Amino acid sequence: MKNKTTEDWHLLFSKIAQGDMSAYLVVYQAYYETIHSVAYQYCKLKHLADDATQQVFVELWERRDKLVSVENPEAWLWVIARNQTIKIIKKEMSHRAYVEYLKNYFSDEEMTPINQLIVKQRCSLIDRIINSLPARQLETYRLSREEGLTYQQIAKKLGIGIETVKEHIAKALKNIRTALKAHEHELRIVFIIFSQFFIF
């Protein structure tokens, strides 16, 4: 692939745009390892680099109808790789930040097995709550908190007003807080049940 000219790239992208899987595989096989290597340098974790690299080629295929208008195909591919890697890192950092918050929540106590279990349960609970949000709230919340987009960027991406974006995210946060309070009894039950098996 290194010896291919811009014309070669345009031809490949043009074929992919027409649904040519063989052309897609040429790009995939030529660049998968290189993109994965770069993603790993930034992510430092293999499973994150795997996810980022996979998403690059998912996006390449899903956006194939736009490939014919790409002026510099190779540069376009690297921009997608950079964006997907950043997105994966931001998502991981968001998750780690929440786990760290939960650990700090128990900072006055030793991180006993039961507290570790509660941290795990809280992470699972908030994931369920987020996934149960109304479609528009979920979409704007993920774009803001997981992909790191600004309100203006979200508004442009979704074709809605900035104030509407703010309203959706505010409602999403309120729903998350309300649901967390409503589900606190689940964590209390976990504590009561499992505390019987641990000596404090």
112 shares its domain with 189: yes
The domain in which residue 124 lies consists of 106-195
| More confident call, 188 vs 92 | 92
19 shares its domain with 76: yes
Q: Each residue of 110-133: pLDDT tens digit?
A: 445 555 655 566 667 777 888 889
Please report the pLDDT score of residue 192 as a whole number. Answer: 45
pLDDT at 198 over 50: no
Asked whether residue 94 is domain-assigned, the answer is no
For tokens 């998502």, what's the residue? 91
Name residues whose C-beta falls within 8 Å of residue 15's C-beta, 6 or more positions apart in sequence. Answer: 22, 23
d(CA 112, CA 65): 53
Q: Each residue of 138-180: pLDDT tens digit?
A: 999 888 877 778 888 899 999 999 899 999 988 988 888 788 7
Boundary (domain end) residue, out of 53, 87, 121 = 87
Q: Each residue of 41-74: pLDDT tens digit?
A: 888 788 888 888 998 999 899 889 989 888 888 8
